Structure 1
Amino acid sequence: MSGAAESQPPSSPKIDVDLTDCLLNHMDISVSEAEKRTNSALNIRESYTVYLIETRITDNGWELIEHGLGQIWRRYSEFEQLRQYMSSAYPWAVIPPLPEKKHSYPVHGLSTDTFDPDFVDRRRAGLENFLHRIAQHPSISRDSMFLTFLQQEEGWRNSIRDKVGLFSGYVRIAEDKIKAINAIVRIKESDPDFESLRKYSHSIQGVFINLLRIRSRATLKVYNIHKLNAGYGKLFSEWSAIEKQMGDGLQQAGHFFDSIAANTETFVEEEEQIMDQIKEYLFYASSLEDICNKRDMIQLEIEQMVDLVRSKTAEKAKAAQGKFGVITRILGSVETEENKTQKVNQLDSKIKETEERIHQARESMAEYKDKATKDIEAFKRQQFPT
């Protein structure tokens, strides 16, 4: 079993933080352009999209900024890696969500191609919001990995791996999910404040998931009704060609139905922009749940160490009384007084070491709760730019 100290997330250099200041007050950040590129390796063509991040210093009052003006291309996977790093380095923070990589809750009538221009442009806007929200945070906006993400194109991934040893994205996500589920099931003592936050997160996620599912089904029905109008338009137009007296009226009716059918995709696309906001709220609720899960993982480690102390204390008492284990009695071994004293001393040393780790873990827990509570309150008060 690994100790609490071994499982602590990677930390950034200690910086005196001015809670009223952040990177966005000193730098303009925009994701201004998206570009499709292709790799050709081993006769396999791989297409991907890169995004142009442009930065411009608005004043020189921040010593952490290295370059005044910059342009850098980043893939979506690099944004994912940045967020995974932020989640590990700042487990107590409400980490902003990324826009979805692929279509979730697809709607009939809209392209599900990840290279669709409308989808790519919405993702570009979402990535810009993601960077703005990190840059608005007074603590994590000062992180060296975030600053180099904006300024250093070559070798950035290797820099993150060298610093925190991240696994590949999906492996890390799966590992964190398994640990979180294990902690939720096994912990004995929960925190009312975090449990209240978890219930709030679950209720929000349930509402938004049901909303997205219902919307997907309802849009399909509306889409089918609108598409029927295209058939009616064609029918009336063909009918007008063979009718002499009613031809003009039938043709006007056909044009009317055609105009309704032509507005179908516009209606769905406009609604999709609203659904992107709903999905963002859903992902934010998931970020709140992640904070609760990380607290439970710390609590599980504390409880495991407490159980270890109890076990070693009972073992020490038996050893001090000269009571032997089953194996010792079966083999007929006889422990000398010297061996008994040595064993008691070893157990006593192990108990003291574990108690010290428990003390450190509880201090870490108190610090975690304090930081998480403050960040959640700041998140509730914060108004993000659109």
Structure 2
Amino acid sequence: MVATSTGQFPHPPLCKQYFCVQQMVEIDKGLLRKMEISVAEAEKRTGKNAVNMQETYTVYLIETRPVDTITEGVTPAPDSLWRRYSEFELLRNYLLVTYPFVVVAPLPEKRAEIVWHKLSADNMDPDFVERRRVGLENFLLRVACHPVLCNDKIFYMFLTEEKGWKEMVYDTGFQAKKVLIYLVTCSCRRFTELKHYSDELQTVLSQLLRVRARVADRLYGVYKVHGNYGRVFSEWSAIEKEMGDGLQSAGHHVDVYAASVDDILEEEEHYADQLKEYLFYTDALRAVCRKHELTQFELETAAQDLASKKQQKEELVTGTVRTFSLKGMTSKLFGQETAEQREAKLQALEQQIEEGEEAVKEKNKESDDFVKTAWEDIECFKEQKDRDLKEALISYAIMQISMCKKGIQVWTNAKECFNKM
């Protein structure tokens, strides 16, 4: 497949189960009630990058259309704008940081990974770009149907405003918040188990994709060997009189079968992309775990600070220093503080303790709210995962059965040709 003269990549005939990405999301929820969203096409462009060097890149056309403007027999022209893959990345990073309790849908891979070796890994390859277009549309649909993410103003601007949305993203300061999420280690058993589950899911899906790539490679070899059958039958038919027509017909059937492998494996790659989506979802699960670790760290820090202030108050009231401190040594060397100084310090400590108790109470509530909302979203994710992967694996099995039936039919036809000789 090649790009058209306009630089646009035509849509190949995709497998029905993956092309209908709206079947993979709950289209009766969220923004999709009000708006149709699609990534209609991809286009290759050339321009200068940030360091003033020439580069070739791909942009994707996002089309939106208000649902309430669609009447029977009349469909208005959609609003449209172009976005680069890097802009989708910026949007997702913003969503990850802003909604840490949400398992944010992943983006399709930037460069092809875990593919059978005959498939191009070039990120400008038209077939790969088309699969990525479908994946980007699926990402937007998943975000648009999420009960929380669909209401985000910046996401809405991403869909509808050509300019201005990036400035709003950076004004949120999400980049500074992102750094903190990587600082601490997990302490809650349930989230520790979630992290282990994420790691195991990633391992299983990676192994499954590698096995599929090896099977695809062997399948490619089998089909190409059939091409050798076709060539031999055709050459043989040239030297035979009575058997010639039968051999020629059998060779034709086998040739058609051998030539179909490229389309079959390209279609199969779309099923692999569905597995890859959940492979990349594992990073989103771990991001939720990291945010929980951060809330626990902040809670523990606030509790430790409160305990320290209470100890200082007790030492000030009783005059007994339990632990070594520079202030304690100074008091012993230069004498005790005056009653007025001690009273002022006591009042300051009482104020700090009151503030600390409020901080601990607030952090406790924040932690409890996070656990509740995050776990609700994780349970929804697991239900969605089970449903989507079940559908993908069943469709993949049906495809394999169909391929085997075609092989049987080819040799059945060849047998009839041989019988007529």
TM-score tier by shorter-chain length is: 0.7 to 0.9
Native 8 Å contact 1:108 1:223 kept in 2: no
- Aligned in 2, Cα 1:313/1:78: closer, same or farther, shift over 3 Å? same
Alignment partner of 1:360 is 2:362: yes
Q: Displacement of 1:130 after TM fit?
A: 1.3
> Among residues 41, 62, 66, which one is paired with 1:33 in the alignment?
41
Residues 299-338 of structure 1 mapped to structure 2, 5 A cutoff: 299-323=296-320, 325=324, 327-328=326-327, 329=329, 332-337=333-338, 338=340
Counterpart Cα distance in 2 of 1:70 and 1:253: 53
CA 1:217–1:381: 2 relative to 1, 3 Å: closer
Aligned counterpart for 1:75 among listed residues 69, 78, 84 = 84
**Distance in structure 1 (CA, Å) of the matches to 2:224 and 2:204:** 30
Secondary structure of residue in 1 paired with 2:110: coil
1:109–1:265 contact (8 Å) kept in structure 2: no
Aligned pair partner of 1:208 in 186, 205, 208: 205
- Over alpha carbons, which structure has the higher Rg? 2
Give deviations 1:134-184, integer Å, cap 9, x for gaps. 22123321211111111111122112111x12439xx95xx46633xx222
> Aligned partner of 2:83: which letter?
R
Over 3 Å counting, the alpha-carbon distance change for 1:74 and 1:326 in structure 2 is: closer
The question of whether the paired residues in 2 share the 8 Å contact of 1:34 and 1:124 is answered with: yes
C-alpha displacement of 1:252: 8.0
2:247 is aligned with 1:267 = no
Q: Which among 87, 96, 110 is matched to residue 101 of structure 1? A: 110
User: Counterparts in 2 of 1:1-386, with a 5 A limit?
Assistant: 22-40=30-48, 44-59=53-68, 69-162=78-171, 164-167=172-175, 172=178, 175=179, 178-179=182-183, 182-184=184-186, 187=187, 190-192=188-190, 194-224=191-221, 226=223, 236=232, 261-323=258-320, 325=324, 327-328=326-327, 329=329, 332-337=333-338, 338-380=340-382
Deviations 1:81-105 (A, max 9, x none): 1112222222222322211111121
- Which runs of no fewer than 5 residues in structure 1 stay unpaired? 1-19, 62-66
2-structure distance, mates of 1:21, 1:260: 44
Distance 1:370 1:177, change over 3 A: closer
| Distance across 2 between alignment mates of 1:43 and 1:99 | 28
* 8 Å CA contact retained: 2:98, 2:174: no
> Residues 66-120 of structure 1, C-alpha deviation per residue, up to 9 Å, x if partnerless?
x995111111111111112222222222322211111121320000011111111
2-side partners of 1:353 and 1:275: how far apart?
54
Which residue of structure 2 lines up, in the alignment, with residue 4 of structure 1? none
2:62 alignment partner AA: I
Q: Deviations over 1:258-299 (max 9, x none)?
A: 656534433321221111111112223433333233222211
Distance 1:379 1:215, change over 3 A: closer
Paired residues, number: 349
Report percent identity of matched pairs.
38
Residues 269 and 21 of structure 1, relative CA distance in 2, 3 Å threshold: closer
The structure-2 alpha-carbon separation of the partners of 1:327 and 1:142, relative to structure 1 and needing over 3 Å to count, comes to closer
State the distance in 1 between where 2:36 and 2:119 align.
34
Instruction: Name the counterpart of 2:10.
Output: none
Are the aligned partners of 2:108 and 2:277 in contact in 1 as well (CA < 8 Å)? yes
224 and 315 in structure 1: CA distance in 2 versus 1, 3 angstrom threshold: farther
Tell me how large the CA RMSD over aligned residues is.
Answer: 3.7
TM-score, with structure 2 as normaliser: 0.70
Which amino acid in 2 is paired with 1:296? Answer: E
C-alpha distance in structure 2 between counterparts of 1:196 and 1:43, whole Å: 47
Contact 1:110 1:265 in 2 (8 A): no
CA distance in 2, matches of 1:233, 1:39: 48
What amino acid is aligned across from residue 38 of structure 1 in structure 2?
T
Whether contact under 8 Å (1:57, 1:68) holds in the other structure is: no
Change (3 A) 1:240 1:378: closer
Gaps of 5+ in 2: 1-27, 71-75, 393-421
1:43 CA displacement? 6.5
Question: What residue identity is the alignment partner of 2:371?
Answer: K
Given that residues 240 and 246 in structure 1 are in contact (C-alpha distance below 8 angstroms), is that contact kept between their aligned partners in structure 2?
no
Note if contact 1:239-1:247 (Cα within 8 Å) is conserved in structure 2: no
Instruction: Measure, in 2, the Cα distance between the counterparts of 1:149 and 1:43.
Output: 26
